[in-house]
């Protein structure tokens, strides 16, 4: 089954790590691509670079940045193929953000 993993981080957390630890965490993220179950892995630019789009009354409205003001922001995502939710949880727990104060949200993907 396919799952989407949304990786939420607290802005600035990675800058607070010592250089050696930050390099180790970056290597862990890079290693995710070596696991064939991860079909796609992508890091996002900071939330400040986002543009939110809404259509209201036929007009397209745009605002800079994320819509919600939260302490955690979407920092990246993975698309993976796992046998079941238990395996998806096991894979999500390997993502550094899960242990560094962030969170990984798991959602089954709707096949069309």
Q: What is the enclosing helix (H) or strand (E) of 53?
A: strand 51-56
> How many structural domains compose the chain?
1
pLDDT tens string 48-107: 888 989 999 999 999 887 665 667 889 999 999 999 999 999 999 999 999 998 999 999
pLDDT tens string 34-49: 999 999 999 899 888 8
Share of residues in the chain with pLDDT > 90 (%): 60
> What are the backbone angles phi and psi of residue 9, rounded to the nearest 5°?
-130, 160
Which two three-digit tokens encode residue 58?
Answer: 């036929």
- Do residues 103 and 97 lie in contact, with contact meaning Cβ atoms separated by under 8 Å? yes
pLDDT tens string 92-103: 999 999 999 899
Q: What is the enclosing helix (H) or strand (E) of 4?
A: strand 2-9
CATH number of domain containing 98: 3.30.70.1060
């Amino acid at each position: 089954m396919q799952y989407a993993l949304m990786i939420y981080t607290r802005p600035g957390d990675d800058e607070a790590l010592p250089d050696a630890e930050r390099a180790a965490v970056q290597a862990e993220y890079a290693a995710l691509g070596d696991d064939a179950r991860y079909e796609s892995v992508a890091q996002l630019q900071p939330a400040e670079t986002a543009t939110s789009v809404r259509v209201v009354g036929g007009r397209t409205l745009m605002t800079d940045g994320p819509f919600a003001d939260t302490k955690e922001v979407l920092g990246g995502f993975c698309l993976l193929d796992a046998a079941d939710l238990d395996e998806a949880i096991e894979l999500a727990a390997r993502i550094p953000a899960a242990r560094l104060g962030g969170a990984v949200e798991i959602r089954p993907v709707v096949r069309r």
